[in-house]
């Protein structure tokens, strides 16, 4: 391992290549379905299989999603372009070439702002291009044959390529977090790294501080979470500095990350320089993006997280912190927005989502997308509390868990059923107050002599007697009035 | 039924009730049975299917519900897909492959009640100029069976030549319809690139591949072209240019300006008898008051190298899919993935295909990409531009289809460069994407056919066909 001093001598330079599978109904060049988890080799046709005589047909929706992402990342949109063939042999690549955009990526340049990293506040992009995914090769240990599943062959991808201008694993993590948030907000990709719909390769190099020339880069693959990308970069930085400090040099190679050990290792396949023999795809007409089409895509863009945050501040009066929290995840933001369409108590809605609901979701390993309770139900809980019909404690500890199990039940009905509907009728509370005062004459005297702290004891008695079903504010008010009335 | 009838003649016979579609199919089947063993023009004959379909269409004719091609019998080159029928591309590598869909051109013929009678032999993956590169044996010229029929669509040419079908569809990438037409004494039309959908055409070189038509008459070529050309939802590269009714535009009138290319007539490769035949057509035209000039096309010598660099580059990629993984031939018990690829492809492909894949891989490789592929792309543009300029001045260019008439089988198989010269005069139109046609104008002293090639500007097939008809009638 390297020492702190050794580490401090070097700068880290990272470039990321992020592949995102686009959420289209069909594949990029055929009408075959695009769904994760289907039986192997069911989403295929003569086009996906590369039969002789087939011709590709470009899926417009895939182009639109790529442009959407490009607009969100401040890229320049290429108005006239074409696809290229990237030639190589692999059993899960049916045509023996991948159709991609080498020379004319659909989006050029741009940047993604990142948060929470001191050293940089944005990551510059080189490009975003469209391409088709390959199928999957399945190697079963001990089996001589490999299995091929071509369901994924031809699934539309965008590849987001950054400039080598990410200077720490934290910045890489923040960038990926933001990219994932963007693709989800834009309905471009589901952002699921574990299922592989969002994938990331990292090009990592180190150089002595002050050195302008980039060091030799190592490409690291096979990281299925943002955390693992960060770990892989950290490990790779350590490994490279260690080698350099020993006087050895870095080999430009592709390495694979092992999540179990947290280490990278050289890929077993011999690392030949692959010559992809790119040339323009002759089976597709050039891709032209007209003014009208671009305008149409722009005007149908879903709200960006930054836009939504500003709107929440303005429309619902949220402070910076609350507005950030509410737009942290797409599904949460839409849920919050929906509640606010019903309730007028925006602040409380935010508190509920950040408090009891978030803890419940975390405990139960859920997400807002499969959250069972409807925004309207939550709005009515907030209303019931505001009206003093139920207490916050009873609502969060009893009503909420109950509604998770019975999401279709009316909140007020459920409160009655749970017996947490509280007395707010001043007459009936007053009688309990009178009762308590009568049976605690000495304490009443002490209070009236100045021992005001006893109010807590009286409150406790009151709650006990009423089994917690009184509106605490009302009870407190009546109690004080009776005690203070000499 | 007369031998080598055009569809127009057949249609007249059908209309007059002289014979039926079943009679027509039987007529062709008889010829196929008699001659195909020797000529090897058909790889598969869809005998019963064709007879059944003919009977159905006879009923349709009786009901007056038949399509406009009722009675037309077609042969398909073995690179065109026909649903549930075998497709080999003249190669061993596809093994027992059957197409799961039909090419757009086939669909359109069937929709008009054409009858497909069989699958025509050809050079493997349409690579060749003599039809000696088929994995299923060479095709022989019906006019002299010691001679080649030309290639690559040799089987399709011979099928029409020897009266085995009314018309046939071939593909022309660098001359593969025109050159065999010239050798086999039939008409061979290569329309403008992108006129006809390539959907269902097993690709050799995608930016050149053009479906072409063999026929006994210009009328037939025009009728088939207007039926199969035009936009297709399966192929985004098809031209949106309007497809006129070519068969109604065959009247030729007035005076035209025609150019000879100096470089072709002065080519050392050009056979003297062929040259004379071409020149004599020019003389006749002059005599009839047309303007005929000899002009220079300085880029002519670059057409063939440009063609071979670009087509092999595209072929090396297009043929990557034949890898033994998904369909077709795969060697038994490969040791590992790499040996499966290598042995499958080495055993599955023939020598010429092998050679072109190697050439194409070379010209696209990182170190030579700019020197060959990019350079050839630039030259292609220059040739296109120069031809466009020429057609601003002239209506048509006349040139020999091939430097010679049909040569002896085996005469050029040992020297690929010699064989490539057979395309010397046809690649120009292919590189430029221009329409061109070969029409039989004479016979040499051995009785072998001499073809005249007429070329014009892109999408002017109407004028090309009308002028060709005039030339044929005048000759």
CA distance to partner chain A, nearest, from residue B239 (Å): 10
Model-level ipTM above the cut of 0.90: yes
Chain A contacts of B100, Cβ < 8 Å? 46, 51
Question: Out of B80, B234, B236, whose CB is closest to A58?
Answer: B236
**Is residue B14 predicted with pLDDT exceeding 50?**
yes
Question: Out of B99, B326, B364, whose CB is closest to A53?
Answer: B99
Q: Does the annotation mark B99 as catalytic?
A: no
Rounded CA-CA distance A302/A443 in Å is 63
Comparing CA positions, the residue from A389, A406, A387, A399 lying closest to residue A469 is A389
In this prediction, residue A270 carries a pLDDT of 44
| Higher-scoring residue by pLDDT: B279, A464 | B279
Residue A254 lies in a domain: yes
Q: What is the mean pLDDT of residues B97-109?
A: 98
Residue-wise pLDDT for A15-25, tens only, equals 999 999 999 99
**Is residue B383 predicted with pLDDT exceeding 50?**
yes
Q: Where are the alpha helices (DSSP H) in B162-205?
A: 178-184
Chain A contact for B364 (CB, 8 A cutoff): yes
CATH among 1.10.290.10, 3.30.470.20, 3.40.50.620, 3.90.1300.10 for B7-248: 3.90.1300.10
Structure tokens belonging to residue B208: 């050149």
Interface test with A, best of B236, B312, B333 (most A CBs within 10 A): B236
Residue-wise pLDDT for B229-266, tens only, equals 999 999 999 999 999 999 999 999 999 999 999 999 99
Count of CB pairs separated by less than 8 Å, A with B = 96
What percent of chain B is modeled with pLDDT above 70?
Answer: 100
The ranges assigned to domains in chain B are: 7-248
Residue-wise pLDDT for B294-310, tens only, equals 999 999 999 999 999 99
Residue-wise pLDDT for B119-146, tens only, equals 999 999 999 999 999 999 999 999 999 9
Rounded CA-CA distance B449/B407 in Å is 11
Which stretches of chain A sit within 8 Å of chain B by CB? 46, 49-58, 85, 87, 89, 91, 94-97, 146, 148, 275, 277-279, 282-285
Q: What is the mean pLDDT of residues A446-468?
A: 84
A229 & A197 share domain: yes
Answer whether B236 sits within 8 Å of A94, measured CB to CB: no
Answer whether A97 sits within 8 Å of B317, measured CB to CB: yes
Question: Out of A52, A148, A282, whose CB is closest to B202?
Answer: A52
- Whether the Cβ atoms of residue A230 and residue A170 lie closer than 8 Å to each other: yes
In this prediction, residue B290 carries a pLDDT of 97
Residue A85 lies in a domain: yes
- Whether the Cβ atoms of residue B259 and residue B398 lie closer than 8 Å to each other: yes
CA distance to partner chain A, nearest, from residue B363 (Å): 9
Answer whether A285 sits within 8 Å of B237, measured CB to CB: yes
Residue A198 lies in a domain: yes
Q: In terms of CA atoms, which chain A residue is nearest residue B89?
A: A52
**Is residue B72 predicted with pLDDT exceeding 60?**
yes
A308 & A276 share domain: no
- Whether the Cβ atoms of residue A198 and residue A183 lie closer than 8 Å to each other: yes
A206 & A273 share domain: yes
Q: What is the mean pLDDT of residues B47-62?
A: 98
Domain containing residue A477? 426-484
**Is residue A470 predicted with pLDDT exceeding 90?**
no
- Boundary (domain end) residue, out of A397, A417, A437: A417
CA neighbours closer than 13 Å in the CB half-sphere of residue B267 = 25
Q: In terms of CA atoms, which chain B residue is nearest residue A150?
A: B326
Q: How far is CA B364 from the centre of its chain?
A: 27
Chain B contacts of A53, Cβ < 8 Å? 80-81, 87, 99, 101, 103, 199-203
A447 & A345 share domain: no
| Higher-scoring residue by pLDDT: A437, B74 | B74
CA distance to partner chain B, nearest, from residue A295 (Å): 24
Answer whether B369 sits within 8 Å of A277, measured CB to CB: yes
Rounded CA-CA distance B196/B459 in Å is 11
Chain A contacts of B316, Cβ < 8 Å? 87, 277
Chain A contact for B374 (CB, 8 A cutoff): no
Residue A128 lies in a domain: yes
3-state secondary structure A99-120: EECCCCCCEECCEEECCCCCCC
In this prediction, residue B6 carries a pLDDT of 97
Q: In terms of CA atoms, which chain A residue is nearest residue B240?
A: A285
Q: What is the mean pLDDT of residues A20-49?
A: 95
A55 & A147 share domain: yes
Average pLDDT of the residues of chain A: 92
Q: Does the annotation mark B176 as catalytic?
A: yes
Active-site residue, selected from the candidate residues B11, B35, B77, B469: B77
Banded model confidence at residue A142, pLDDT cuts 50, 70, 90: confident
Phi, psi values for residue B107, rounded to 5°: -55, -45
- Whether the Cβ atoms of residue B324 and residue B331 lie closer than 8 Å to each other: yes
A325 & A454 share domain: no
DSSP string, B6-40: -HHHHHHHHHTTS--HHHHHHHHHHHHHHHHHHH-
Residue A297 lies in a domain: no
Answer whether A91 sits within 8 Å of B236, measured CB to CB: no
A316 & A263 share domain: no
A406 & A431 share domain: no
A343 & A403 share domain: yes
Chain A contacts of B321, Cβ < 8 Å? 50, 52, 94-96
For residue A471, what is the domain's CATH number? 1.10.10.410
Give pTM, 2 decimals.
Answer: 0.91
Answer whether B237 sits within 8 Å of A55, measured CB to CB: yes
- Boundary (domain end) residue, out of A266, A291, A316: A291
Residue A284 lies in a domain: yes
In this prediction, residue B258 carries a pLDDT of 98
Answer whether B316 sits within 8 Å of A277, measured CB to CB: yes
Q: Which of A49-58, A295-304, A335-344, A368-377 has the lowest mean pLDDT?
A: A368-377
**Is residue B41 predicted with pLDDT exceeding 60?**
yes
Partners of B454 in beta bridges: B398, B437
Q: Which of A17-21, A457-461, B182-186 has the lowest mean pLDDT?
A: A457-461
Q: In terms of CA atoms, which chain A residue is nearest residue B365?
A: A277
Q: Is A443 exposed, middle or buried (0-12, 13-18, 19+ CB in 10 A)?
A: middle
- Boundary (domain end) residue, out of A417, A449, A467: A417
**Is residue A268 predicted with pLDDT exceeding 60?**
no
Q: Is B335 exposed, middle or buried (0-12, 13-18, 19+ CB in 10 A)?
A: exposed
A42 & A178 share domain: yes
Chain A contact for B125 (CB, 8 A cutoff): no
Answer whether A49 sits within 8 Å of B327, measured CB to CB: yes
Banded model confidence at residue A272, pLDDT cuts 50, 70, 90: low
Residue-wise pLDDT for A293-313, tens only, equals 999 999 999 999 999 999 999
Rounded CA-CA distance B103/B83 in Å is 8
Q: In terms of CA atoms, which chain B residue is nearest residue A98?
A: B317
**Is residue B475 predicted with pLDDT exceeding 70?**
no
A171 & A315 share domain: no
A322 & A393 share domain: yes
The structural domain count of chain A equals 3
Q: Does the annotation mark B257 as catalytic?
A: no
């Amino acid at each position: 391992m390297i020492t702190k001093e050794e580490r401090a001598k070097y700068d880290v330079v990272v470039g990321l290549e992020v592949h995102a599978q686009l959420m289209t109904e069909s594949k990029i060049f055929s009408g075959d379905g695009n769904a994760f988890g289907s039986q192997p080799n069911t989403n295929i046709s003569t086009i996906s299989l590369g039969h002789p005589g087939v011709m590709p047909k470009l899926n417009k929706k895939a182009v639109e999603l790529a442009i959407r992402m490009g607009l969100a990342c401040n890229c320049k949109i290429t108005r006239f372009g074409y696809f290229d063939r990237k030639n190589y042999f692999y059993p899960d690549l049916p045509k023996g070439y991948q159709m991609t955009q080498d020379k004319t990526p659909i989006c050029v340049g741009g940047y993604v702002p990142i948060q929470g990293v001191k050293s940089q506040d944005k990551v510059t992009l080189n490009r975003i291009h469209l391409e088709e995914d390959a199928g999957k090769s399945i190697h079963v240990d001990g089996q001589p044959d490999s299995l091929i599943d071509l369901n994924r062959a031809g699934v539309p991808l965008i590849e987001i390529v950054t400039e080598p201008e990410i200077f720490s694993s934290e910045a890489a993590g923040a960038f990926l977090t933001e990219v994932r948030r963007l693709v989800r907000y834009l309905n471009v990709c589901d952002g699921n790294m574990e299922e592989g719909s969002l994938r990331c390769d990292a090009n990592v190099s180190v150089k002595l501080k002050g050195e302008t020339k980039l060091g030799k880069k190592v490409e690291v693959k096979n990281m299925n979470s943002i955390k693992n990308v960060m770990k892989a970069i950290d490990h790779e930085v350590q490994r490279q500095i260690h080698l350099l400090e020993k006087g050895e040099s870095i080999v430009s190679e592709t390495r694979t990350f092992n999540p179990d050990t947290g280490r990278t290792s050289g890929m077993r396949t011999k690392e030949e320089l692959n010559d992809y023999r790119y040339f323009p795809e002759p089976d597709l007409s050039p891709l032209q993006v007209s003014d009208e089409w671009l305008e149409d895509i722009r005007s149908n863009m879903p709200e960006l997280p930054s836009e939504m945050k500003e709107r929440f501040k303005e429309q619902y009066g949220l402070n910076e912190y609350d507005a950030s929290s509410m737009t942290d995840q797409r599904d949460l933001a839409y849920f919050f927005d929906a509640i606010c369409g019903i309730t007028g108590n925006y602040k409380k809605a935010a508190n509920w989502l950040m408090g009891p609901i978030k803890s419940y979701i975390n405990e139960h390993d859920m997400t807002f997308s499969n959250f069972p309770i409807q925004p309207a139900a939550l709005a009515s809980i907030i209303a019931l509390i505001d009206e003093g019909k139920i207490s916050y404690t009873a609502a969060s500890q009893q009503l909420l868990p109950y509604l998770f199990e019975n999401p279709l039940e009316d909140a007020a009905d459920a409160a009655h059923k749970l017996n947490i509907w509280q007395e707010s009728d001043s007459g009936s509370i007053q009688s309990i107050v009178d009762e308590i005062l009568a049976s605690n004459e000495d304490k009443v005297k002490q209070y009236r002599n100045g021992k005001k702290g006893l109010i807590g004891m009286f409150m406790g008695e009151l709650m006990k007697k009423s089994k917690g079903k009184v509106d605490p504010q009302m009870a407190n008010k009546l109690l004080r009035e009776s005690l203070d009335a000499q | 039924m007369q031998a080598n009838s055009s569809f127009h003649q057949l249609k007249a016979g059908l209309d007059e009730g002289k014979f039926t579609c079943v009679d027509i199919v039987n007529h062709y089947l008889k010829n196929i049975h008699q001659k195909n063993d020797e000529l090897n023009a058909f790889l598969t004959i869809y005998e019963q299917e064709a007879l059944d379909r003919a009977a159905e269409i006879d009923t349709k004719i009786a009901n007056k519900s038949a399509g406009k091609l009722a009675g037309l019998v077609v042969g398909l080159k073995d690179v065109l897909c026909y649903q549930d029928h075998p497709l080999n591309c003249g190669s061993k590598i596809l093994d027992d492959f059957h197409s799961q869909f039909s090419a757009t051109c086939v669909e359109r013929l069937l929709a008009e009640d054409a009858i497909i009678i069989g699958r025509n032999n050809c050079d493997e993956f349409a690579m060749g100029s003599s039809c000696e590169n088929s994995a299923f044996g060479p095709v022989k010229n019906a006019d002299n069976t010691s001679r080649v029929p030309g290639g690559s669509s040799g089987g399709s040419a011979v099928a029409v030549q020897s009266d085995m079908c009314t018309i046939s569809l071939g593909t022309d990438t660098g001359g593969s319809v025109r050159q065999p037409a010239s050798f086999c004494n039939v008409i061979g039309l290569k329309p403008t690139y992108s006129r006809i959908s390539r959907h269902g055409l097993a690709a050799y070189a995608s930016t050149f591949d053009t479906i072409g038509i063999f026929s006994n008459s210009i009328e037939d070529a025009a009728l088939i072209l207007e039926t199969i050309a035009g936009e297709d939802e399966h192929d985004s590269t098809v031209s949106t240019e309007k497809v006129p009714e070519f068969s109604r535009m065959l009247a030729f009138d007035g005076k035209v300006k025609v150019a000879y290319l100096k470089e072709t007539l002065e080519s050392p490769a050009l056979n003297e008898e062929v040259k004379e035949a071409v020149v004599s057509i020019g003389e006749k035209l002059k005599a009839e008051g047309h303007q005929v000039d000899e002009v220079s096309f300085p880029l002519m010598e670059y057409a063939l190298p440009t063609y071979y660099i670009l087509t092999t580059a595209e072929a090396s990629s297009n043929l990557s899919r034949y890898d033994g993984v998904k369909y077709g031939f795969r060697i038994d018990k490969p040791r590992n993935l790499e040996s499966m690829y290598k042995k499958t492809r080495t055993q599955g492909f023939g020598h010429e295909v092998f050679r072109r894949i190697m050439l194409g891989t070379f010209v696209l490789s990182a170190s030579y990409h700019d020197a060959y592929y990019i350079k050839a792309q630039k030259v292609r543009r220059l040739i296109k531009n120069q031809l466009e300029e020429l057609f601003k001045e002239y209506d048509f260019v006349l040139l020999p289809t091939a430097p010679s008439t049909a040569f002896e089988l085996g005469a050029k198989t040992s020297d690929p460069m010699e064989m490539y010269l057979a395309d010397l005069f046809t690649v120009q139109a292919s590189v430029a994407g221009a329409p061109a046609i070969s029409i039989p104008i004479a016979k040499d002293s051995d009785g072998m056919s001499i073809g005249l090639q007429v070329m014009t500007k892109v999408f002017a097939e109407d004028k090309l066909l009308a002028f060709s008809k005039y030339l044929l009638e005048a000759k």
